[in-house]
Amino acid sequence: MVWNYAVQIFYNPILALVKLSVLIFLYRLFAHKRGVKLYIVGLSGVTLVQLVAVAGAIIFQCTPIAFNWTPTLPNGRCVDQRSLYVSTAAFTILTDVLVLGLPAYIFRDLNIPKKTKIALLVVFLMGGLVTAASFARLMILVVGLYNLAPVANPDPTYNIGFVTSAIETNLALITASAPALMPLLKSWFPNVFGQNNSEPSARDRGTMRHLVKPTTPRKSDEEGLYTVTTGGQAR
């Protein structure tokens, strides 16, 4: 019971912090768009409030706190735990969907090749796996908490509800790290994630910098006129 209580405490903060990290990442990239900036700031505020509120509700759901894992304590009492667990799980799914829809909206207007746009969307929308796990966890919670299983079991821990919480948090950490894997994906799939063929490569840009010397102003005072020397020859 004490380990179940520990998982409850860490479950929501982990998911909230992962969502905040994704929102901060998107903010750094697209804060120049006013609508996206306000959306990210507002959703980040909601996520922070959720983190604090849910953590407090979970920690103090029973009085005394030890009543969570020692239900035989005298004068112990708890809030309506079924409503608490279901409502927090449903709100987590809602914020997941709001975060998940943001990359799709942002990438819609990006002026990049279509295949690259689709590949980026796939990487960012991997968070949909977390939302699917959250929904599965909610269904398992509802079935277990409200005794909706076709065959009742006297052991309340005899289900995979405990496991789905661990699966969801680990999936969240993995999928939130997916954008950081772009250099690896570029090396594995250069035709999809690679640079535009019309742009010079890093090697070409280094060669150009070596050949083109810094510009020096002419002796005349005419503004905007500079001499560029290439390979030692004045132009």
Q: Work out the pLDDT band at 159, boundaries 50, 70, 90.
A: low
Share of the chain above pLDDT 70, in %: 77
Q: Work out the pLDDT band at 4, boundaries 50, 70, 90.
A: confident
CA–CA dist 209, 207 (Å, integer):
5
CA–CA dist 2, 52 (Å, integer):
21
Residue 233: predicted pLDDT: 47
Q: What is the signed CA dihedral for 171, 174, 179, 183, rounded to 10 degrees? A: -150
Residue 195: predicted pLDDT: 52
More confident residue, 55 or 159: 55
Residue 178: predicted pLDDT: 81
Token pair 């002026």: residue: 111
Asked if the model's pLDDT at residue 228 lies above 60, the reply is no
Residue 147: predicted pLDDT: 77
| Mean pLDDT of the 194-206 span | 47
Asked if the model's pLDDT at residue 135 lies above 70, the reply is yes
Residue 212: predicted pLDDT: 43
Residue 154: predicted pLDDT: 64
Radius of gyration of the chain (CA): 27
Output the 3-class SS for the chain: CHHHHHHHHHHHHHHHHHHHHHHHHHHHHHCCCHHHHHHHHHHHHHHHHHHHHHHHHHHCCEECHHHHCCCCCCCCEECCHHHHHHHHHHHHHHHHHHHHHHHHHHHHCCCCCHHHHHHHHHHHHHHHHHHHHHHHHHHHHHHHHCCCCCCCCCCCCCCCHHHHHHHHHHHHHHHHCHHHHHHHHHHHCHHHHCCCCCCCCHHHHHHHHHHECCCEECCCCCCCCEECEECCEEC
Q: What is the signed CA dihedral for 149, 153, 159, 165, rounded to 10 degrees? A: 80
More confident residue, 113 or 39: 39
| Mean pLDDT of the 175-193 span | 78
| Mean pLDDT of the 127-152 span | 85
The sign of the torsion formed by the CA atoms of 150, 151, 157, 163 equals negative
Tokens of 94: 């809602």
| Mean pLDDT of the 153-175 span | 78
Mean pLDDT of the chain, nearest integer: 79
Q: What is the signed CA dihedral for 133, 134, 137, 143, rounded to 10 degrees? A: -130
Q: What are the two backbone dihedrals, phi and then psi, of residue 72, each rounded to the nearest 5 degrees?
A: -90, 0
Residue 217: predicted pLDDT: 46
**pLDDT tens, 10-69?**
999 999 999 999 999 889 888 888 889 999 999 999 999 999 999 999 999 999 999 998
What's this model's pTM, rounded to 2 decimal places?
A: 0.73
Asked if the model's pLDDT at residue 146 lies above 70, the reply is yes
Asked if the model's pLDDT at residue 194 lies above 70, the reply is no
